[in-house]
A and B are shown apart, each in its own frame.
Chain A
Amino acid sequence: MQYLAFILKNKQVIFFTIDGYYGSWIEEEFWRAVINTSIVVFFTVLISLTFGTLGGYALARSTYRYAFWILMAGLIFRAMPHMTLVSGYLQPFFAWNIWGILPTTIIVLVAINQPFTLWMLHSFFLNIPKDLDESAMCDGCNRFQAFRYVIIPIMWPGVITTGLFSFLLAYNDFTVTSMLLSDENETMIPAIASFLGTVQEEGKVMYAVAAVVSATAPLFFLVMFFQRQIVSGLTAGAVKG
């Protein structure tokens, strides 16, 4: 490959090359991992939010004791190290022949994500006054219609914040994706980890460096555009509860 050169005012030259990027994206087929990550992340966020808004809304509006117990169970599930869960998945997944494919990983990530999503959306829905949907129900709506016409139009700020964190969990996951995906379905983070073994020995560390920068870049832009939502999400559980 060729290189770029910039000449500074004092005649000092700076040289750049894109060898690392070419090597990792094209030669080592990192683009496949990028596509897999996009699929996994997109569906995980979509399903997590759908399940989470329904459940979070129910938890926020229920006055019964079992709602509290579900939230407590969520807290305990949230504390489980993911590796302990993964060790329980492998045997049944091999037996049912669903190991290694993307849908399995997506649904597992949704499940692992659920306790956090429920907690966050639950505390968000608590801030929406009860009178809103209850007055709609007085006007003859049932619970689902009240949810559809009153809650959905105003819930987006909370859903976007929660969605960002679901995105981060799915995007950053290494434990689940490295254990549950076959080589051809590998996502970005396990792909980088496997670069470590193979590429390093051949003296192509720069491939891994380029892949690492490629994987970081989207997060950089995410923080840039959604800084306010991320900050409010981090503090939502804390300041209010």
Chain B
Amino acid sequence: MNTKIENKLTPVRIIAFVFVALWLIVAMFPFIWTLWGSFKVQADFFSKADWANAIFGFHTEKQTGNFFYY
């Protein structure tokens, strides 16, 4: 009986799922963002113009050393 309940997708179940997913984003996002951003320069991590800079590291390229690829 128990397994039957677990496999059914009821509206309550969907709401619960969405709610937990939201909480997980709230709980995890700050850590992931800061871990990623710690490998950037300040102009990228605190980039007011475009938060995508903090992901790709636009200023990190300009401000640091020589250019070489991996």
Residues of A whose CB lies within 8 Å of any CB of B are: 1-7, 12-21, 203-206, 209-210, 212-213, 216, 220
Contact = CB atoms under 8 A, between A and B. Distances in A.
A209 B31 CA distance: 11
Contacts, number: 71
Nearest to A14: B56
A5 B57 CA distance: 9
B41 A7 contact: no
Contacts of A206: 38, 40-42, 45
Given A205-B46, A206-B45, A216 B70 contact: no
A5 B34 contact: no
B45 A7 contact: no
Of the four ranges (under 10, 10 to 19, 20 to 34, 35 or more), the interface on chain B belongs to: 20 to 34
A138 to B, nearest CB: 46
Interface string B39-66: 1111001100000000111101100111
30 contacts: A1-B64, A2-B64, A2-B66, A5-B61, A5-B67, A5-B69, A13-B56, A13-B61, A14-B55, A14-B56, A15-B57, A15-B60, A15-B64, A16-B40, A16-B60, A17-B39, A17-B41, A17-B60, A17-B64, A20-B39, A203-B42, A204-B42, A205-B45, A206-B38, A206-B42, A206-B45, A209-B37, A213-B38, A216-B35, A220-B31
B68 interface: yes
Interface of B: 31, 34-35, 37-42, 45-46, 55-58, 60-61, 64-70
A3 B61 contact: yes
Given A12-B56, A15-B57, A209-B45, A2 B65 contact: yes
Nearest to B69: A5
Contact of A212 (B34, B40, B61, B67): B34
A7 B38 contact: no
Contact of B64 (A3, A13, A204, A205): A3
- Interface centre among A20, A204, A206, A212, by most chain B C-beta atoms within 10 angstroms, is A206
